[in-house]
Amino acid sequence: MASVEKFSFHVPSLEELVGVLQNGLKNNFADVQVSVVDCPDLTKEPYAYPVKGICGKPRIAEVGGVPYLIPLINKKKFMPIVQTKSDHKPAVNGSYFAQINPVDGGCLLEKYSKKYDDFGFALLANLFASEGQPGKVIEVKAKGRTGKHNFVTCMRETLKKHYGDKPIGMGGTFVVQKGKIKVHVMPPEFSSCPLTSDEDVNNWLHFFEIEAPLVCQPVFVSQDPGFDLRLEHTHCFSHHGVGGHYHYDTTPDAVEYLGYFLPAEVLYRIDKPKETHTYGRD
């Protein structure tokens, strides 16, 4: 049986977060507008999610972790984690994984290879889940990157700086409307040699530069409250056949982001690795 730990995030009002994010993002982007709006209908293009919004009991679930994947894939973890998923669905509310969650971290690869996806998801996942309802959300528009941080890192660092040791969890969706993004996807085979550094991991992963428009599913936590979390994780897909794990935009002058976010109330930490390390988290 996998462990499940629960943590309550600090949850500021949306109005307060608007002020904090506006101030932080303007240090990293030329043009920033943050406001509280009604969540757009996410069943429409470009999102095409199965649910209308990201509201209603927003929470983050982090399952497993990078240490199950590297230095060497822990194949013993496979079967137990498949069991874990079904055993512990009620703890997180299984329907979020299956249907309601419009913003899970699923790689585009899952559409190409079912087997690969089952394996990948079984080892680690960072999910933002909600009841998928309409409601008030934080809208973030940012154009022209002037700083060194990517869009998600900038928001995370901003929250960390403002809220310090009161951890904030956020998730939602954003669209890269213009520009290009560097992403990675994992190769179809897990490495047979141990990957023991960031450099090893980067040599194993496949990196691509892909074009907007891209729909992204970010999950980020301002500060790890002691659960061996991956502080940010964003996957993206498109309707032109590309997708992957978001690293940063490669066209700072041209890039335009439009996002909708909510602070999560609760973190569920499922199957936290007992033996850990710090690389491969990027």
State the minimum distance, in angstroms, from the CB of residue 66 to Zn ion.
Answer: 10
State the minimum distance, in angstroms, from the CB of residue 74 to Zn ion.
Answer: 18
- Choose among 163, 274, 177: nearest CA to 228: 274
State the minimum distance, in angstroms, from the CB of residue 245 to Zn ion.
Answer: 3
Number of residues that bind Zn ion (CB under 5 A): 1
Q: Which residue is nearest to Zn ion (CB)?
A: 245
230 binds Zn ion (CB under 5 A): no
State the minimum distance, in angstroms, from the CB of residue 90 to Zn ion.
Answer: 26
d(C-alpha 256, C-alpha 175), whole Å: 8
SS3 49: coil
34 versus 219: smaller Cβ distance to Zn ion: 219
88 versus 245: smaller Cβ distance to Zn ion: 245
Q: How many CB atoms lie within 10 A of CB 114?
A: 10
Q: Which positions from 231 through 250 interact with Zn ion, judged by CB under 5 A?
A: 245
d(C-alpha 91, C-alpha 269), whole Å: 11
d(C-alpha 88, C-alpha 122), whole Å: 13
CA 163 → CA 61, 107, 167, 228, 272, distances in Å?
21, 31, 7, 19, 25
State the minimum distance, in angstroms, from the CB of residue 67 to Zn ion.
Answer: 15
Q: Which positions from 245 through 274 interact with Zn ion, judged by CB under 5 A?
A: 245
d(C-alpha 161, C-alpha 28), whole Å: 14
28 versus 234: smaller Cβ distance to Zn ion: 234
State the minimum distance, in angstroms, from the CB of residue 235 to Zn ion.
Answer: 5
Amino acid at 144: G
101 versus 138: smaller Cβ distance to Zn ion: 101
Site string for Zn ion, 97-116 (x = CB under 5 A): --------------------
Strand order across the 180-185 sheet: 29-38, 136-145, 256-264, 169-178, 214-221, 232-237, 243-249, 180-185, 206-211
State the minimum distance, in angstroms, from the CB of residue 50 to Zn ion.
Answer: 21
183 versus 264: smaller Cβ distance to Zn ion: 183
21 versus 129: smaller Cβ distance to Zn ion: 129
CA of residue 164 relative to chain centroid, distance: 21
Burial letters 11-42, b for 16+ CB under 10 A, else e = bbebeebbebbeebbbebbeebebeeeebbeb
178 versus 281: smaller Cβ distance to Zn ion: 281
SS3 146: coil
State the minimum distance, in angstroms, from the CB of residue 10 to Zn ion.
Answer: 26
52 versus 245: smaller Cβ distance to Zn ion: 245
Binding site for Zn ion (CB under 5 A): 245
